[in-house]
Amino acid sequence: HNPSNLLHFSAQMILAYGSTKDYENPKSGLLDNFWNISGGHFFLMEPGINLELNLSSRIILVTGVSYRYVTGLNENDENIQITHVTNQDLSGLNFNIGLKIAKKQKVK
């Protein structure tokens, strides 16, 4: 891993706590979603590896692969019975592509 090389690798790790949300009852209007939602909570871990290409001193093209692992959703929870989402639904292989744009460095 040498960021000054034209092509180099980087790694990532995302740790997060999230929740699912769904409407408890059918929506009756545009603004009725504030008190009409509920859902279950889960923990997310997503390690990944990226290949980075320096396009300039400030712009880097990034492409990578990661695996998202989700745990903690209880399928017997009444809120999950509404959403019908499982840990397996939210887990899986992910591919990404993006740009990193750095600030201009100050001259010392």
Number of domains in the chain: 1
Give the per-residue pLDDT at 78: 74
CA–CA distance, 13 with 95 (Å, rounded to integer): 14
The answer as to whether 2 is a domain residue is no
CA–CA distance, 44 with 69 (Å, rounded to integer): 6
The answer as to whether 40 is a domain residue is yes
DSSP 5-72: SSEEEEEEEEEEEEE--EESS---STTTTSSSEE--EEEEEEEEEEEEEESSSSEEEEEEEEEEEEE-
Give the per-residue pLDDT at 23: 65
Give the per-residue pLDDT at 105: 64
Domain span holding position 22? 7-101
User: Which residues of the chain fall below pLDDT 50?
Assistant: none
The answer as to whether 107 is a domain residue is no
CATH number of the domain where residue 81 is located: 2.20.200
pTM: 0.74
pLDDT tens digits for range 14-42: 999 998 876 666 667 766 666 666 677 89
The answer as to whether 55 is a domain residue is yes
